[in-house]
Amino acid sequence: MSHTIAVAIDGPAGAGKSTIAKKIAAKLNYIYVDTGAMYRAMALFLLRRNVHPEDTERISTLCEEADITIRYENGEQVVLLNGENVNALIRTEEVSNMASGSSANPKVREKLVKLQQALAGRENVVMDGRDIGTCVLPDAEVKVYLTAGVSVRARRRFDELTARGEKCSLPEIEADIRQRDHKDMTREISPLRQAEDAVLIDTSDMTIDEAVNAVIDLC
């Protein structure tokens, strides 16, 4: 059996993980796996069922009905929710907030972590998320903890949403990010934290290329 190689990138929302991870994957010719998109697809599924983000019991039962898979089209990850391509529907603030609640559910995590581990067993991956280096791929060859100041991250998210034509307010986004950081870092299972063997990169004052090069150097 051939051994696959994994680059694990964790960090809070808006640190630049997906932008940077995608570029690294392209340079290394690895597959980019955006695990947040899987939690978002699950959140969309639950929102459509009108589930409350804190209703643990219902989430545990309902998540069994969500078949989440990923596929690659022209090098882009496409997330399928029960066969439907939901890429265009999972980047709203509503889905973000639901995902932050529902991703704390053990059943949801168990299901998606298995999928992520299976992917990394088949292909060389650059995988980003919150618990990749600590839990999903503890033996990853390279581990990075990517972060940036809260106001920098809020501004980035604001610019991203505005560019997509979504109406939003910067103070609200910053408040949301603070709340999500808090939830992601304090939840009981797989909280967001830097793995002991992960390298910390703060992108607050870095360009995208500088951050990409910093990770490539590690690889």
Residues making contact with ligand DC (CB under 6 A): 13, 35-36, 39-40, 96, 99-100, 103, 129-131, 180, 184
Spatial distance between the Cα atoms of 122 and 109, rounded to a whole number of angstroms: 20
- Of residues 30 and 128, the one with the C-beta less far from ligand DC: 128
Q: How far apart are CB 96 and ligand DC at their closest, in Å?
A: 6
Q: Which is nearer to ligand DC, 208 or 217 (CB)?
A: 208
**Between residues 28 and 101, which has the closer beta carbon with respect to ligand DC?**
101
Shorter beta-carbon distance to ligand DC: residue 130 or 156: 130
Nearest distance from C-beta of residue 167 to ligand DC, angstroms: 20
Name the minimum Å distance from CB 57 to ligand DC: 19
Cα–Cα distance, 108 to 39 (Å, whole number): 8
Q: Which pair of structure tokens corresponds to residue 89?
A: 């529907």
Pair 153, 13: CB distance under 8 Å = yes
User: Between 1 and 129, whose beta carbon lies closer to ligand DC?
Assistant: 129
Angle between helices 93-102 and 35-48 (to 10 degrees): 100
Give the integer Cα–Cα distance in Å for 129 and 146: 10
- Give least dist CB 102 to ligand DC, A: 8
Long-range contacts of 81-90 (CB under 8 A, 24+ apart): 81/41, 81/42, 81/44, 81/45, 82/45, 86/41, 86/44, 87/37, 89/44, 90/37, 90/40, 90/41, 90/43, 90/44
Q: Where are the beta strands (DSSP E) in 87-188?
A: 125-129, 142-147
Q: How far is the CB of 184 from ligand DC (least distance, A)?
A: 5
